[in-house]
């Protein structure tokens, strides 16, 4: 084997580069490209071997040939890079036409669960009050006449009892009365909470209630209520208005207006009923289905806790004042979602439930 | 309560439009449910019958010429009471009237009746929508102006009130007038109730005693002799009709009228039918009976207060009169009763007889005794006016309570401020209360002593007066403030937050929440085999249906029934859960209410898709959500195989955390599915006892586990174990090795190449140390050690 000289080196390097470039021009896939790379730039590739052979040259020749060799290496790497890019671009172009996805096909199904709309709305209601410092407490669904009525200033024989048609548990006491019932409202927790704590009190009580009532589109015998109670020194009717107004804005939006009118519940005095201006017609009526053209929608009853209720649990009505309120989450959900029949809530038809 | 504005105007000026008046009343707590416009009778006029001839072709019809002032027309009339000279309601062609044959409002068309063209119609009350009366035509008073539109003459506006039980006073037109007066600043004119008493003294003609004053606090009576029973005059009939009452006869109409005017129910007896002209107010004697005005014979008990003559009951006090003393066409002398009966006894009697009358509606709410003589005098005066006769001198007034001391209640501006959060000066307070008929007397600085008028029974304490003031000045005038008192410490029920976490986890597991009725049928409880005959579930005393009879001791029946109902319109997937209470009887005490979570899964696993298989949901689909719930709560639990008659043999596990039983999961027994007509099988059911879950979760708090800085080494381990060895046991052995960071069971296999009494379990095992990088040799040694342990403890071998 003749010793390479700088001239012969320059010539053979150029030949090598030309040969490599010529070969590369015919390569159209990544496998052949990799074979080409190994053949020229691999550990035993032709250029690599050439560069290794330079070690036998004298210093000056080695310097010149080395520079040429490194130039050639850079050139081949550049060519490789270009070719590699053009091949992958060609592949993408090919797959765009040959392996095109039908993007309109349905996606991979997920398993989705949902909360019952009542649970969703109850959470929304409770959060609004939690943000105002209320705690969430719950109580028994089977109640005593004592807590459901008597502690709420509704003694036996009181005509106001007609406001709550009651389902009684089939157990009579010696006098022939039924002492146990399905609670007709969540209000009995007012007395239960106050009996077990000292003021200040600030609670909301979500829960199921029951009435002995025929059902129709707006009446269910089984429904939920959220009761609220705030008692302390210095709580006023103005605070009641502010708290419930804030609640209405949180649930129905900042632009809502509220209206308070006199109403009657035996366990509050004064009693009040809160309406919001109709969010469907903005109070303009015009055949509004939601507010029946009144411009207002009643959403809850409330009032200042009756002094007899306070005295009944041992709070001094001269010292403490407070307010109580109650609202029906189904009604709120019906208003928000445009549900027209309350009976849909607990018939558990998945076609209804899966919409929320 | 229906209040015609024309009647209301007798006591108070009403200048506001009806809608505005209704709004103000509603805001003040007297809710107007509807403003009824009576009228809108287009093409209807006051007419006069000029002549009446028999119809040439029909005996029952007559041919009338009717004048409307400007024109005369020929009409056919079938009413027996039509007569020449009468003023009548005449409808021209084009009028829209109620047709009793079709039951609809229809436009009147020209008609040929038996050969004669009728150019209009003489109307009955029914056709005009005034009442149900279709017996004959409406005959107007002689002074009715011929040609006036009927709207101008008869039209009215009626407020239909939806009253709360406290506002007894607004069950009367005068009571409403006082409200209107206060709300509009108009004075109220009470009727003059004086009359000439020119008969002999009543005390010489009737003897009245109250034997049971606890049930009848006040009994007043008057006597009118020589009356002539007949129809009431038109004004009286018209008012009653507009208020929703049917006129009967003059004396009875007056008692109804005064009840509607003043609130006080009254009763009239035929004086001559009272034995010994004696009235005794007493408890009934056992065995006594009375045929009441509705024709029903009622058995009386000593709980019932009766009005009796010298021998027999003649009425049930404050509920209903007796037929034996009823006013009839021949009655000449009327004994009129106006009394105050005990509200509780009255309500009990009415409820016991299932007889709620207009009288009991008022008595049960506790009328004030001051009212009785006022209403008595008003009715006496009116009876004499409409039925003639002579009024006996004086009235009987048996007032067995303390002397009538008017109710007084104190009110201070300080209390007003404390309750309302605003200052109201005493002058405003007095003005408002006086406008409502209260009498105010200053009793100190910022204090008034308020006398409650006789028509109000709902004002007993200071707070009641606060409401009176604020409802009249308007709730809008009270400021709106936020609570400024300290926020109390949180006292949220622990169960509430667990329930929230469980619901969220089950939803995250792809399940749909349902909420079902807690009252279930006995049959459904039998179907799930959970009707405990020894200690039956709590039953309702008044269930609304057999389907809603028992307080459920389980959620299972509701869920299976819900599943069955939904199978009708879907093939699934069904992944349903409910979190709700079950009720366990507790002797005579309130039942134990346990929060439970339960779910059912059945049907196909996926909605049909080109990307997924068509497998069905099974046991493991129910187990997964439980594992997720437990993971969210930080509870470590184990699943122990168990045979339970509710579940498919061999496909059920009980869930424990330590010794605490948390619940159960399994595939429901096919025979139970059959009882619910469930088509898809299997149905997997899970059930968690949330108080136990809460108990297990106590004291658990999440702690961060530091991450190892050294790499993990992975080995796959394919084991063959006897078929009866639970996978969890094998996994437990592997994961308890000190160098094992994590184990994943990724394949379970039995069949070819595996002995029939064995199964193959394949694990990814991750070895990792917190101190150093493990060498291949260390890992292999650990693996060999594990295999030896597994062989010793569960007979495991490496799969060939």
What pLDDT score was predicted for residue A2?
Answer: 45
Q: Exposed (0-12), middle (13-18) or buried (19+): which is A291, by Cβ within 10 Å?
A: buried
B369, pLDDT greater than 80: yes
- Residue ending a domain, among A97, A130, A160, is A97
The answer to whether B591 contacts A142, with C-beta atoms less than 8 Å apart, is: yes
Distance CA B475, CA A241 (A): 9
Q: Kindly state the average pLDDT of the residues B83-112.
A: 88
How far off is chain A from B677, nearest CA to CA, in Å? 17
Task: Report pLDDT digits (tens) over B719-767.
Answer: 999 999 999 999 999 999 999 999 999 999 998 889 999 999 999 999 9
Q: Kindly state the average pLDDT of the residues A235-254.
A: 95
Q: Which residues of A touch B418 (CB under 8 A)?
A: 234, 236, 321
Q: Kindly state the average pLDDT of the residues A239-243.
A: 97
Q: Kindly state the average pLDDT of the residues B685-698.
A: 96
Q: What's chain A's Rg over C-alpha atoms?
A: 42
Distance CA B243, CA B171 (A): 11
What pLDDT score was predicted for residue B213?
Answer: 94
Instruction: Print the SS3 string covering B377-430.
Output: HHHHHHHHHHHCCEEEECCEEEECCCCCCCCEEEEEHHHHHHHHCCCCCHHHHH
- Which residue on chain A is closest to B591 by alpha carbon? A142
Q: In which element (H, E) is residue B563 found?
A: helix B556-567
The answer to whether B611 contacts A163, with C-beta atoms less than 8 Å apart, is: no
Q: Are residues A192 and A276 in the same domain?
A: yes
Minimum-distance CB partner of B565 among A172, A261, A348: A348
- Which residue on chain A is closest to B476 by alpha carbon? A260
Q: Which residues of B touch A241 (CB under 8 A)?
A: 475, 478-481
Q: Are residues A218 and A259 in the same domain?
A: yes
3-state secondary structure of B231: coil
The DSSP result for B431-479, as a single string, is HHHHHTT-EEEEEETTEEEEEPPTT--S--SHHHHHHHHHHHH-GGGS-
Asked if B264 and B367 touch (Cβ cutoff 8 Å), the reply is: yes
The verdict on residue A74 lying in a domain is yes
Q: Are residues A230 and A181 in the same domain?
A: yes
Q: Are residues A40 and A163 in the same domain?
A: no
What pLDDT score was predicted for residue A291?
Answer: 80
* pLDDT band of B159, cuts 50, 70, 90: very high
The answer to whether B538 contacts A170, with C-beta atoms less than 8 Å apart, is: yes
Q: Are residues A290 and A348 in the same domain?
A: yes
A114, pLDDT greater than 90: yes
The verdict on residue A179 lying in a domain is yes
The answer to whether B478 contacts A237, with C-beta atoms less than 8 Å apart, is: yes
The verdict on residue A130 lying in a domain is yes
CA dihedral (A44, A45, A51, A56) positive or negative: positive
How far off is chain A from B425, nearest CA to CA, in Å? 17
Q: Which residues of B touch A232 (CB under 8 A)?
A: 485-486
Asked if B667 and B647 touch (Cβ cutoff 8 Å), the reply is: yes
* pLDDT band of B402, cuts 50, 70, 90: low
Q: Which residues of B touch A160 (CB under 8 A)?
A: 165-166
What pLDDT score was predicted for residue B539?
Answer: 96
What pLDDT score was predicted for residue B444?
Answer: 92
Where would I find the H helices in chain A? 6-25, 30-41, 46-53, 59-98, 117-130, 145-148, 188-196, 237-252, 307-312, 329-337, 350-353
Residue numbers of the domain that contains A79? 6-97
* Predicted complex ipTM: 0.87
Indicate which residue of A37, A164, A193, A309 is catalytic.
A164
Q: Are residues A149 and A61 in the same domain?
A: no
Strand blocks (E) in B13-61 = 31-38, 44-54
Q: Are residues A150 and A274 in the same domain?
A: yes
Please work out, in degrees rounded to the nearest 5, the angle formed at the alpha carbon of residue A333 by the alpha carbons of A327 and A338.
135
Indicate which residue of A83, A183, A185, A306 is catalytic.
A185
Please work out, in degrees rounded to the nearest 5, the angle formed at the alpha carbon of residue A218 by the alpha carbons of B539 and A183.
35
The verdict on residue A107 lying in a domain is no
Q: Which residues of A touch B166 (CB under 8 A)?
A: 160, 264, 266
At residue B67, φ and ψ (nearest 5 deg) are -105, 135
Mention every residue, 6+ apart, whose C-beta is less than 8 A from residue B767.
B712, B713, B714, B715, B739, B740, B741, B774, B778, B779, B782, B783
Q: Residue B400 is encoded by which pair of tokens?
A: 């067995």
The answer to whether A271 contacts B569, with C-beta atoms less than 8 Å apart, is: no
The DSSP result for B345-384, as a single string, is HHHHHHHHTT---HHHHHHTT---TTHHHHHHHHHHHHHH
Q: Kindly state the average pLDDT of the residues A149-171.
A: 91
Determine the residue among B472, B488, B571 to mutate to test chain A binding: the one whose Cβ has the most chain A Cβ atoms within 10 Å.
Answer: B488
Q: Are residues A129 and A239 in the same domain?
A: yes
How far off is chain A from B582, nearest CA to CA, in Å? 10
* pLDDT band of A241, cuts 50, 70, 90: very high
Determine the residue among A106, A236, A323 to mutate to test chain B binding: the one whose Cβ has the most chain B Cβ atoms within 10 Å.
Answer: A236
B521, pLDDT greater than 50: yes
Distance CA B337, CA B687 (A): 67
A118, pLDDT greater than 90: yes
Determine the residue among A153, A270, A343, A356 to mutate to test chain B binding: the one whose Cβ has the most chain B Cβ atoms within 10 Å.
Answer: A270
The answer to whether A108 contacts B583, with C-beta atoms less than 8 Å apart, is: no
How far off is chain A from B469, nearest CA to CA, in Å? 10
- Residue ending a domain, among A69, A97, A125, is A97
Looking at the 3D structure of chain A, how many domains does it have? 2
Q: Which residues of A touch B548 (CB under 8 A)?
A: 221
Least confident of A34-38, A345-349, B36-40, B439-443: B36-40
- Residue ending a domain, among A97, A125, A155, is A97
Per the omega criterion (within 30 degrees of 0), is the bond before A60 cis? no
User: CA nearest A280: which of A265, A290, A267, A269?
Assistant: A290
Asked if A156 and A192 touch (Cβ cutoff 8 Å), the reply is: no
- Which residue on chain A is closest to B539 by alpha carbon? A170
Q: Are residues A141 and A278 in the same domain?
A: yes
- Which residue on chain A is closest to B607 by alpha carbon? A109
The answer to whether A236 contacts B419, with C-beta atoms less than 8 Å apart, is: yes
- Which residue on chain B is closest to A294 by alpha carbon? B23
What pLDDT score was predicted for residue B335?
Answer: 97
Indicate which residue of A128, A191, A226, A268 is catalytic.
A268
- Which residue on chain A is closest to B165 by alpha carbon? A160
The verdict on residue A103 lying in a domain is no
* Mean pLDDT taken over chain B: 93
Give the CATH number, domain containing residue A303.
3.30.930.10
Q: Which residues of B touch A110 (CB under 8 A)?
A: 510
3-state secondary structure of B799: coil
The verdict on residue A108 lying in a domain is no
A225 is catalytic: yes
* Mean pLDDT taken over chain A: 90
A100, pLDDT greater than 60: yes
Task: Report pLDDT digits (tens) over A313-332.
Answer: 999 999 999 999 999 999 99
* pLDDT band of B405, cuts 50, 70, 90: low
Distance CA B418, CA A52 (A): 102
Q: Which residues of B touch A344 (CB under 8 A)?
A: none
Minimum-distance CB partner of A135 among B492, B507, B543: B492
Q: Are residues A170 and A70 in the same domain?
A: no
Q: Residue B291 is encoded by which pair of tokens?
A: 């045929």
Indicate which residue of A205, A248, A302, A324 is catalytic.
A324
Least confident of A105-109, B196-200, B370-374: A105-109
Task: Report pLDDT digits (tens) over A44-61.
Answer: 888 888 888 877 888 888
Percent of residues, chain B, with pLDDT higher than 90:
80
* pLDDT band of B42, cuts 50, 70, 90: confident
Q: Which residues of B touch A306 (CB under 8 A)?
A: 463
3-state secondary structure of A168: strand
User: CA nearest B797: which of B719, B685, B704, B706?
Assistant: B719
The answer to whether A116 contacts B515, with C-beta atoms less than 8 Å apart, is: yes
Minimum-distance CB partner of A270 among B471, B479, B544: B471
* CA distances to A37, B135, B690 from B103, in Å: 99, 16, 59
CA dihedral (B638, B644, B646, B651) positive or negative: positive
Q: Are residues A281 and A178 in the same domain?
A: yes
3-state secondary structure of B685: strand
A268 is catalytic: yes
Asked if A221 and A176 touch (Cβ cutoff 8 Å), the reply is: no
The answer to whether B491 contacts A137, with C-beta atoms less than 8 Å apart, is: yes
Task: Report pLDDT digits (tens) over B575-612.
Answer: 999 999 999 999 889 999 999 999 999 999 998 889 98
Q: Kindly state the average pLDDT of the residues B328-345.
A: 95
How far off is chain B from A311, nearest CA to CA, in Å? 14
Minimum-distance CB partner of A132 among B418, B419, B483: B483
A1, pLDDT greater than 60: no
The answer to whether A113 contacts B493, with C-beta atoms less than 8 Å apart, is: no
The answer to whether A262 contacts B29, with C-beta atoms less than 8 Å apart, is: yes
Domains identified in chain B and CATH numbers: 2-38+158-184 (3.30.56.10), 44-154 (2.40.50.140), 199-399 (3.50.40.10), 408-476 (3.30.56.10), 495-697 (3.30.930.10), 713-798 (3.30.70.380)
Task: Report pLDDT digits (tens) over A277-308.
Answer: 888 787 777 778 778 777 888 999 999 999 99
Q: Kindly state the average pLDDT of the residues B479-501.
A: 90
Q: Are residues A165 and A89 in the same domain?
A: no
Q: Kindly state the average pLDDT of the residues B379-404.
A: 90
The answer to whether A306 contacts B544, with C-beta atoms less than 8 Å apart, is: no
The verdict on residue A308 lying in a domain is yes
Q: Residue B798 is encoded by which pair of tokens?
A: 């490496």
The verdict on residue A225 lying in a domain is yes
């Amino acid at each position: 084997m003749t010793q390479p000289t700088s001239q012969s080196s320059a010539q053979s390097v150029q030949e090598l580069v030309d040969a490599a470039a010529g070969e590369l021009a015919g390569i159209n896939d990544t496998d052949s490209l990799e074979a080409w790379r190994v053949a020229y730039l691999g550990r035993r590739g032709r250029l690599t071997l050439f560069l290794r052979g330079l070690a036998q040259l004298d210093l000056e020749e080695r310097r010149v040939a080395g520079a040429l060799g490194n130039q050639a290496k850079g050139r081949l790497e550049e060519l490789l890079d270009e070719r590699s890019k053009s091949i992958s671009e060609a592949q993408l172009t090919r797959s765009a036409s040959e392996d095109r996805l039908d993007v309109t096909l349905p996606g991979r199904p997920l398993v989705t669960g949902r909360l019952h709309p009542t649970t969703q709305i109850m959470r929304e209601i409770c959060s609004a009050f939690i943000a105002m410092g209320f705690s969430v407490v719950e109580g028994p669904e089977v109640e005593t006449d004592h807590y459901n009525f008597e502690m709420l200033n509704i003694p036996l024989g009181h005509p106001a009892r007609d406001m709550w048609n009651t389902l009684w548990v089939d157990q009579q006491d010696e006098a022939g009365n039924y002492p146990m019932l399905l609670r007709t409202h969540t209000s009995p927790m007012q007395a239960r909470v106050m009996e077990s704590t000292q003021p200040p009190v600030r609670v909301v009580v979500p829960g199921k209630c029951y009435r002995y009532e025929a059902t129709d589109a707006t009446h269910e015998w089984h429904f939920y209520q959220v009761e609220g109670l705030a008692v302390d020194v210095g709580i006023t009717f103005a605070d009641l208005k502010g708290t419930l107004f804030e609640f209405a804005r949180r649930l129905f939006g900042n632009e809502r207006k509220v209206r308070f009118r006199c109403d009657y519940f035996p366990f509050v005095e004064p009693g009040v009923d809160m309406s919001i201006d109709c969010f469907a017609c903005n109070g303009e009526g015009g055949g509004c289905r939601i507010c029946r053209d009144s411009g207002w929608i009643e959403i809850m009853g409330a009032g200042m806790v009756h002094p007899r209720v306070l005295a009944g649990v041992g709070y001094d009505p001269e010292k403490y004042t407070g307010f109580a309120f109650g609202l029906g989450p189904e009604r709120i959900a019906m208003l928000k979602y445009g549900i027209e029949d309350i009976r849909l809530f607990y018939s558990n038809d998945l076609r209804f439930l899966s919409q929320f | 309560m229906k209040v015609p504005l024309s009647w209301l105007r007798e006591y108070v000026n009403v200048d506001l439009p009806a809608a505005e008046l209704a709004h103000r009343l509603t805001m003040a707590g007297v809710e107007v449910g509807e403003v009824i416009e009576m009228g809108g009778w287009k093409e209807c006029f006051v007419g006069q019958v000029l002549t009446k001839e028999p119809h040439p072709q029909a005996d029952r019809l007559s041919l009338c010429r009717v004048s409307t002032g400007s024109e005369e027309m020929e009409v056919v009339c079938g009413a027996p009471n039509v007569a020449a000279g009468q003023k009548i309601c005449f409808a021209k062609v084009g009028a829209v009237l109620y047709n009793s044959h079709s039951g609809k409002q229809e436009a009147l068309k020209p008609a040929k009746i038996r050969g004669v063209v009728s150019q209009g119609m003489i109307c009955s009350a029914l056709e005009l929508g005034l009442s149900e009366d279709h017996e004959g035509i409406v005959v107007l008073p002689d002074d009715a102006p011929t040609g006036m539109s009927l709207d101008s003459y008869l039209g009215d506006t009626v407020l239909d009130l939806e009253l709360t039980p406290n506002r007894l006073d607004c069950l009367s037109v005068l009571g409403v007038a006082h409200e209107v007066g206060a709300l509009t600043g108009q004075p109220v004119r009470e009727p003059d109730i004086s009359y000439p008493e020119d008969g002999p003294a009543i005390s010489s003609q009737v003897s009245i005693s109250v034997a049971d004053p606890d049930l009848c606090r006040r009994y007043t009576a008057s006597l009118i002799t020589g009356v002539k029973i007949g129809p009431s005059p038109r004004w009286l009939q018209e008012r009653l009709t507009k208020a929703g009452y049917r006129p009967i006869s003059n004396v009875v109409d007056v008692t109804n009228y005064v009840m509607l005017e003043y609130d006080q129910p009254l009763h009239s007896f035929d004086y001559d039918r009272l034995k010994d002209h004696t009235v005794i107010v007493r408890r009934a004697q056992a065995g006594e009976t009375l045929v009441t005005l509705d024709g029903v014979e009622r058995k009386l008990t000593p709980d019932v207060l009766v009005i009796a003559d010298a021998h027999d009951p003649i009425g049930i006090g404050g509920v209903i009169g007796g037929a034996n003393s009823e006013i009839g066409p021949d009655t000449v002398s009327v004994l009129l009763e106006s009394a105050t009966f005990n509200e509780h006894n009255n309500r009990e009697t009415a409820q016991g007889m299932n007889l709620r009358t207009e009288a009991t509606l008022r008595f049960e709410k506790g009328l004030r005794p001051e009212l009785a003589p006022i209403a008595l005098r008003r009715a006496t005066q009116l009876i004499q006016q409409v039925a003639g006769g002579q009024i006996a001198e004086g009235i009987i007034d048996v007032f067995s309570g303390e002397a009538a001391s008017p109710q007084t209640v104190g009110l201070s501006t300080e209390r007003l401020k404390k309750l309302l959060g605003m200052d109201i000066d005493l002058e405003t307070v007095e003005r408002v209360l006086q406008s409502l008929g209260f009498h105010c007397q200053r009793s100190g600085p910022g204090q008034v002593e308020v006398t409650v008028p006789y028509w109000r029974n709902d004002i007993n304490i200071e707070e009641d007066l606060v409401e009176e003031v604020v409802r009249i000045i308007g709730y809008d005038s009270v400021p709106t403030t936020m609570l400024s008192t300290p926020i109390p410490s949180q006292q949220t029920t622990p169960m509430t937050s667990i329930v929230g976490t469980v619901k969220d986890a089950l939803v995250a597991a792809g399940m749909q929440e349902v909420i079902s009725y807690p009252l279930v049928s006995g049959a459904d409880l039998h179907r799930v085999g959970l009707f405990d005959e020894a200690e039956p579930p709590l039953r309702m005393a008044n269930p609304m249906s057999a389907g809603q009879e028992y307080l459920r001791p389980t959620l299972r029946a509701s869920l299976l029934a819900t599943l069955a109902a939904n199978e009708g319109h879907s093939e699934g997937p069904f992944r349903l859960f409910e979190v709700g209470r079950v009720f366990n009887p507790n002797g005579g005490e309130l039942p134990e209410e346990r929060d439970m979570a339960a779910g059912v899964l059945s049907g196909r696993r996926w909605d049909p898709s080109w990307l997924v298989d068509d497998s069905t949901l099974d046991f493991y689909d129910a187990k997964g959500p439980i594992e997720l719930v437990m993971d969210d709560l930080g509870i470590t639990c184990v699943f122990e195989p168990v045979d339970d008659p509710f579940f498919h043999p061999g496909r059920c596990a009980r869930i424990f955390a330590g010794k605490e039983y948390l619940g159960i999961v399994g595939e429901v027994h096919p025979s139970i599915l059959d009882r619910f007509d469930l088509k898809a099988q299997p149905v997997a059911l899970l059930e968690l006892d949330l108080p136990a879950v809460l108990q297990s979760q106590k004291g658990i708090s999440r702690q961060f586990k530091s991450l190892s800085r050294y790499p993990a080494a992975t080995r796959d381990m394919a084991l063959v174990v006897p078929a009866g060895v639970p996978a969890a046991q094998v996994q437990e052995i592997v994961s308890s090795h000190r160098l094992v960071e994590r184990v994943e069971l990724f394949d379970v296999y039995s069949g070819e190449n595996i002995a029939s009494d064995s199964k193959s379990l394949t694990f990814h095992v991750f070895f990792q140390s917190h101190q150093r990088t493990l060498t291949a040799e260390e890992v292999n040694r650990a693996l060999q050690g594990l295999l030896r342990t597994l062989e010793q403890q569960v007979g495991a071998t490496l799969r060939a």
